[in-house]
Chains A and B, each alone.
Chain A
Amino acid sequence: QSALTQPASMSGSPGQSITISCTGTSSDIGDYNSVSWYQQHPGKAPKLMIYDVNNRPSGVSNRFSGSKSGNTASLTISGLRAEDEADYYCSSYTSSSTLVFGGGTKLTVL
Protein backbone atom coordinates (compact mmCIF):
# COMPACT_ATOMS: atom_id res chain seq x y z
CA GLN A 1 0.00 0.00 0.00
CA SER A 2 1.60 3.25 -1.13
CA ALA A 3 1.55 6.29 1.11
CA LEU A 4 -1.00 8.99 0.47
CA THR A 5 0.44 12.06 -1.29
CA GLN A 6 0.75 15.32 0.61
CA PRO A 7 2.79 18.44 -0.16
CA ALA A 8 6.05 18.25 1.76
CA SER A 9 5.78 21.80 3.04
CA MET A 10 3.43 24.76 3.12
CA SER A 11 3.54 28.17 4.72
CA GLY A 12 1.19 30.99 5.59
CA SER A 13 1.02 34.21 7.53
CA PRO A 14 -0.92 34.66 10.76
CA GLY A 15 -4.60 35.16 10.07
CA GLN A 16 -4.49 33.55 6.65
CA SER A 17 -6.12 30.29 5.64
CA ILE A 18 -4.29 27.35 4.15
CA THR A 19 -5.48 24.05 2.70
CA ILE A 20 -3.40 20.88 2.78
CA SER A 21 -4.27 18.25 0.22
CA CYS A 22 -4.00 14.49 0.56
CA THR A 23 -4.34 12.35 -2.54
CA GLY A 24 -4.98 8.63 -2.51
CA THR A 25 -6.71 6.10 -4.72
CA SER A 26 -10.05 4.41 -5.20
CA SER A 27 -8.82 1.73 -2.75
CA ASP A 28 -8.55 4.14 0.13
CA ILE A 29 -9.74 7.75 0.21
CA GLY A 30 -11.97 7.30 -2.82
CA ASP A 31 -13.88 4.41 -1.34
CA TYR A 32 -14.08 5.22 2.36
CA ASN A 33 -15.04 8.16 4.54
CA SER A 34 -12.58 7.04 7.21
CA VAL A 35 -10.13 9.89 6.58
CA SER A 36 -8.34 11.45 9.53
CA TRP A 37 -5.87 14.28 10.07
CA TYR A 38 -3.22 14.46 12.78
CA GLN A 39 -1.11 17.34 14.05
CA GLN A 40 2.36 16.63 15.42
CA HIS A 41 4.63 19.13 17.10
CA PRO A 42 8.37 18.31 17.29
CA GLY A 43 9.14 15.61 19.83
CA LYS A 44 5.48 15.08 20.65
CA ALA A 45 2.91 12.42 19.92
CA PRO A 46 0.43 13.10 17.13
CA LYS A 47 -2.96 14.58 17.96
CA LEU A 48 -6.22 13.75 16.20
CA MET A 49 -7.63 16.91 14.58
CA ILE A 50 -10.23 15.54 12.14
CA TYR A 51 -11.91 12.15 11.79
CA ASP A 52 -14.39 10.70 9.31
CA VAL A 53 -13.41 13.36 6.75
CA ASN A 54 -14.94 16.39 8.46
CA ASN A 55 -15.57 15.75 12.15
CA ARG A 56 -13.65 17.46 14.96
CA PRO A 57 -12.97 15.74 18.26
CA SER A 58 -14.02 17.59 21.36
CA GLY A 59 -11.54 20.33 22.18
CA VAL A 60 -10.22 20.88 18.65
CA SER A 61 -10.65 24.42 17.39
CA ASN A 62 -13.31 25.06 14.75
CA ARG A 63 -10.56 26.76 12.73
CA PHE A 64 -9.75 23.23 11.54
CA SER A 65 -12.04 21.67 8.95
CA GLY A 66 -11.88 18.74 6.56
CA SER A 67 -13.40 17.76 3.26
CA LYS A 68 -13.12 15.15 0.53
CA SER A 69 -13.68 15.01 -3.20
CA GLY A 70 -13.05 11.83 -5.10
CA ASN A 71 -9.63 10.44 -4.19
CA THR A 72 -8.46 13.66 -2.52
CA ALA A 73 -9.04 14.83 1.04
CA SER A 74 -8.23 18.30 2.34
CA LEU A 75 -7.53 19.95 5.67
CA THR A 76 -8.21 23.67 5.93
CA ILE A 77 -6.85 25.78 8.74
CA SER A 78 -8.36 29.24 8.96
CA GLY A 79 -7.04 32.19 10.95
CA LEU A 80 -3.54 30.75 11.14
CA ARG A 81 -1.79 31.09 14.48
CA ALA A 82 1.81 30.56 15.49
CA GLU A 83 0.84 27.45 17.46
CA ASP A 84 -0.48 25.83 14.28
CA GLU A 85 3.10 25.42 13.07
CA ALA A 86 3.56 21.65 13.06
CA ASP A 87 3.61 18.57 10.87
CA TYR A 88 0.24 17.38 9.57
CA TYR A 89 -0.56 13.85 8.47
CA CYS A 90 -3.61 12.48 6.72
CA SER A 91 -4.65 8.85 6.95
CA SER A 92 -7.25 6.60 5.38
CA TYR A 93 -8.71 3.17 5.86
CA THR A 94 -7.93 0.90 2.92
CA SER A 95 -9.60 -1.95 1.07
CA SER A 96 -7.07 -4.31 2.69
CA SER A 97 -8.53 -3.51 6.13
CA THR A 98 -5.35 -1.62 6.97
CA LEU A 99 -4.40 2.02 7.33
CA VAL A 100 -2.23 4.23 5.17
CA PHE A 101 -0.73 7.58 6.17
CA GLY A 102 0.30 10.47 4.02
CA GLY A 103 3.95 11.46 3.92
CA GLY A 104 3.27 14.51 6.06
CA THR A 105 3.21 18.27 5.48
CA LYS A 106 5.41 20.65 7.42
CA LEU A 107 3.43 23.82 8.02
CA THR A 108 5.36 27.00 8.71
CA VAL A 109 3.62 30.09 10.07
CA LEU A 110 5.62 33.04 8.82
Chain B
Amino acid sequence: EVQLLESGGGLVQPGGSLRLSCAASGFTVSTYAMNWVRQAPGKGLEWVSIISSSGGTTYYADSVKGRFTISRDNSKNTIYLQMNSLRAEDTAVYFCAKDRGNYVIQFDSWGQGTLVTVSS
Protein backbone atom coordinates (compact mmCIF):
# COMPACT_ATOMS: atom_id res chain seq x y z
CA GLU B 1 0.00 0.00 0.00
CA VAL B 2 1.33 3.42 -0.99
CA GLN B 3 1.76 5.77 1.95
CA LEU B 4 3.15 9.29 2.15
CA LEU B 5 3.93 10.85 5.51
CA GLU B 6 4.77 14.53 5.69
CA SER B 7 6.55 16.12 8.62
CA GLY B 8 8.37 19.30 9.52
CA GLY B 9 5.52 21.77 9.59
CA GLY B 10 5.04 24.28 12.37
CA LEU B 11 5.04 27.93 13.32
CA VAL B 12 7.77 30.12 11.85
CA GLN B 13 8.32 33.87 11.77
CA PRO B 14 8.22 35.83 8.52
CA GLY B 15 11.61 35.62 6.82
CA GLY B 16 12.37 32.32 8.50
CA SER B 17 13.05 28.88 7.08
CA LEU B 18 11.57 25.42 7.38
CA ARG B 19 12.27 22.04 5.80
CA LEU B 20 9.44 19.67 5.09
CA SER B 21 9.96 15.95 4.63
CA CYS B 22 7.81 13.36 2.90
CA ALA B 23 8.61 9.75 3.73
CA ALA B 24 7.25 7.28 1.22
CA SER B 25 6.46 3.61 1.64
CA GLY B 26 4.89 0.98 -0.56
CA PHE B 27 6.74 2.16 -3.66
CA THR B 28 10.15 3.42 -4.72
CA VAL B 29 10.29 7.20 -5.06
CA SER B 30 13.08 6.97 -7.62
CA THR B 31 10.55 5.51 -10.06
CA TYR B 32 8.17 8.46 -10.03
CA ALA B 33 8.18 12.22 -10.10
CA MET B 34 7.11 13.70 -6.78
CA ASN B 35 5.32 16.94 -6.02
CA TRP B 36 4.36 19.38 -3.31
CA VAL B 37 0.90 20.96 -3.34
CA ARG B 38 -0.37 23.43 -0.75
CA GLN B 39 -3.71 24.65 0.45
CA ALA B 40 -4.12 27.86 2.40
CA PRO B 41 -6.79 27.77 5.13
CA GLY B 42 -10.22 27.76 3.53
CA LYS B 43 -8.74 28.13 0.04
CA GLY B 44 -8.13 25.97 -3.00
CA LEU B 45 -5.22 23.81 -4.07
CA GLU B 46 -2.01 25.35 -5.36
CA TRP B 47 0.72 23.32 -7.03
CA VAL B 48 4.13 24.23 -5.58
CA SER B 49 6.89 22.12 -7.08
CA ILE B 50 7.88 18.92 -8.86
CA ILE B 51 11.05 16.84 -8.97
CA SER B 52 11.57 14.22 -11.66
CA SER B 53 12.31 10.60 -10.87
CA SER B 54 16.01 11.15 -11.48
CA GLY B 55 16.05 14.37 -9.54
CA GLY B 56 17.59 16.12 -12.50
CA THR B 57 14.56 18.22 -13.34
CA THR B 58 12.70 20.53 -10.99
CA TYR B 59 10.05 23.15 -11.54
CA TYR B 60 8.40 25.64 -9.23
CA ALA B 61 5.33 27.81 -9.11
CA ASP B 62 6.16 31.46 -9.68
CA SER B 63 4.97 32.24 -6.16
CA VAL B 64 7.81 30.22 -4.58
CA LYS B 65 10.54 30.33 -7.23
CA GLY B 66 13.87 31.38 -5.78
CA ARG B 67 12.71 30.74 -2.21
CA PHE B 68 11.80 27.04 -2.15
CA THR B 69 13.94 24.07 -3.17
CA ILE B 70 12.69 20.55 -3.74
CA SER B 71 15.06 17.62 -3.40
CA ARG B 72 15.02 13.88 -2.91
CA ASP B 73 17.05 11.21 -1.12
CA ASN B 74 16.29 7.98 -2.90
CA SER B 75 18.27 5.99 -0.32
CA LYS B 76 15.76 7.15 2.31
CA ASN B 77 12.76 7.04 -0.05
CA THR B 78 12.10 10.62 1.01
CA ILE B 79 11.57 13.96 -0.65
CA TYR B 80 12.07 17.37 0.88
CA LEU B 81 10.95 20.95 0.49
CA GLN B 82 13.35 23.56 1.81
CA MET B 83 11.42 26.78 2.35
CA ASN B 84 13.32 30.03 2.87
CA SER B 85 12.29 33.67 3.19
CA LEU B 86 8.85 32.58 4.32
CA ARG B 87 5.94 34.98 4.02
CA ALA B 88 2.52 35.12 5.63
CA GLU B 89 1.00 34.03 2.33
CA ASP B 90 2.95 30.77 2.52
CA THR B 91 0.73 29.70 5.42
CA ALA B 92 -0.95 26.49 4.28
CA VAL B 93 -1.24 22.76 4.61
CA TYR B 94 1.50 21.27 2.47
CA PHE B 95 0.73 17.97 0.79
CA CYS B 96 3.23 15.58 -0.71
CA ALA B 97 1.80 13.96 -3.84
CA LYS B 98 3.02 11.06 -5.96
CA ASP B 99 2.97 11.49 -9.71
CA ARG B 100 1.22 8.85 -11.80
CA GLY B 101 4.41 8.50 -13.79
CA ASN B 102 7.54 10.47 -14.47
CA TYR B 103 6.37 14.04 -14.91
CA VAL B 104 2.75 13.71 -15.92
CA ILE B 105 1.84 15.98 -12.96
CA GLN B 106 -1.23 14.00 -12.05
CA PHE B 107 -1.35 12.76 -8.49
CA ASP B 108 -2.58 9.28 -7.65
CA SER B 109 -1.49 9.29 -4.00
CA TRP B 110 -1.40 12.06 -1.41
CA GLY B 111 -0.14 12.42 2.12
CA GLN B 112 -2.35 13.84 4.85
CA GLY B 113 -0.45 17.12 4.86
CA THR B 114 1.58 19.17 7.30
CA LEU B 115 0.56 22.65 8.42
CA VAL B 116 2.95 25.55 8.00
CA THR B 117 2.04 28.77 9.76
CA VAL B 118 4.06 31.90 9.05
CA SER B 119 3.33 34.52 11.67
CA SER B 120 5.08 36.77 14.14
Contact = CB atoms under 8 A, between A and B. Distances in A.
B100 A51 contact: yes
A45 B44 contact: no
Interface residues of A, number: 26
A3 B113 contact: no
B45 A57 contact: no
B112 interface: yes
Contacts of A89: 44-45
A6 B106 CA distance: 18
A57 B37 CA distance: 20
Question: Secondary structure of the B side of the interface?
Answer: strand
Contact of B44 (A1, A57, A104): A104
B95 A98 contact: no
B59 interface: yes
6 contacts: A38-B45, A51-B106, A51-B108, A87-B44, A89-B45, A100-B47
Interface of A: 1, 3, 34, 36, 38, 40, 45-48, 51-52, 57, 87, 89, 91, 93, 96-104
